[in-house]
A = this chain, B = another copy of it.
């Protein structure tokens, strides 16, 4: 049996209340001698506060739940790290929940977290959604979401990444370098960042008087193989001098394909990734990419959520985060210019 306040109290011939006060530093009105005796017993007996019991009283657990599709996906890994860092900094603990992009798993995890009395939940949505299931779930505690990606009602905090501008500036970077034939290899998703990025791509082109061509946009899976095999099967469109990708892994796949086909990056082909994950920094040349500031986004999600929890204010907040272009070695002026 673990040693409790009661044990300490009995050992020191004081009341539990006294021990409690001392443990919680509310000891202004406790005698020096008593304090010393109790503190000594606590150390000797190895007493440790039972947070469970404490939470029963205080009504908060100082715990949060983090819902993500898959921690192995570098994008989510980075968000998780930022989130955990901030949680730790604020004295909170984080439950890690992978959903494997299954909405059922997501919902059962959220339910479980509520039973566990977490103070709040951070939901990084699965790519697959189900309006009916989501609207039916009643999340009765504060939660934060990334982008407008879920249909859960009454989020407390929403962090939005400006995917439109991110893509716009990525493409603008290529246009400024002189590229005019720019392919876009994107990933499959029903979440709206997909549309936003496509608009960014289109608008940037049009701002430079370059006509948008449907057939310059390819859709495949969000990974190395996806982009690699797409190009292996279809090749680049005639005259293409640059490719923008849905994420760094796809950019990586494009780079592999290029190297294997004797296409020099960036001389013959410029490549841009998205997310600024580790993958954009380990290739040679390193990949120009658009950062979503994943670490910071994770941290902000947690920070704002905690603010909301601790203030108890009943307002919905939205924080917008701009992306940034990170120019590295995979982009340059196109050949012959």
Contacts and interface: CB of A to CB of B under 8 A. Distances in A.
Interface of A: 2, 46, 48-53, 55-56, 61, 63, 66, 70-72, 77-78, 80-81, 84-85, 88, 93-98, 111-112, 114-117, 138, 140, 224, 249, 252-253, 256, 259-260, 278-279, 281-284
A254 B125 CA distance: 37
Contact of A95 (B46, B93, B140, B278): B93
Given A96-B94, A283-B256, A140 B2 contact: yes
Contacts of A53: 56
A95 B95 contact: yes
Between A52, A78, A278, the greatest number of chain B beta carbons within 10 A of the residue's beta carbon is seen for: A52
A117 B81 contact: no
A61 to B, nearest CB: 7
Contacts of A252: 282
A51 B116 contact: yes
A93 B116 contact: yes
A256 B284 contact: yes
Contacts of A49: 115
Given A94-B95, A96-B96, A116-B51, A72 B77 contact: yes
Given A50-B117, A71-B77, A117-B52, A96 B138 contact: no
14 contacts: A51-B117, A52-B56, A52-B116, A53-B56, A63-B116, A71-B81, A77-B77, A81-B98, A85-B98, A88-B98, A93-B112, A95-B96, A253-B282, A256-B283
Given A46-B140, A52-B52, 14 more contacts: A49-B115, A50-B115, A51-B117, A63-B116, A72-B278, A80-B96, A84-B97, A88-B97, A93-B112, A94-B95, A96-B96, A252-B282, A259-B259, A279-B282
Contacts of A98: 81, 84-85, 88
Contact of A66 (B56, B61, B96, B283): B96
A114 B48 contact: yes
Contacts of A52: 52, 55-56, 61, 116-117
A95 B63 CA distance: 9
A109 to B, nearest CB: 8
A256 B53 CA distance: 55
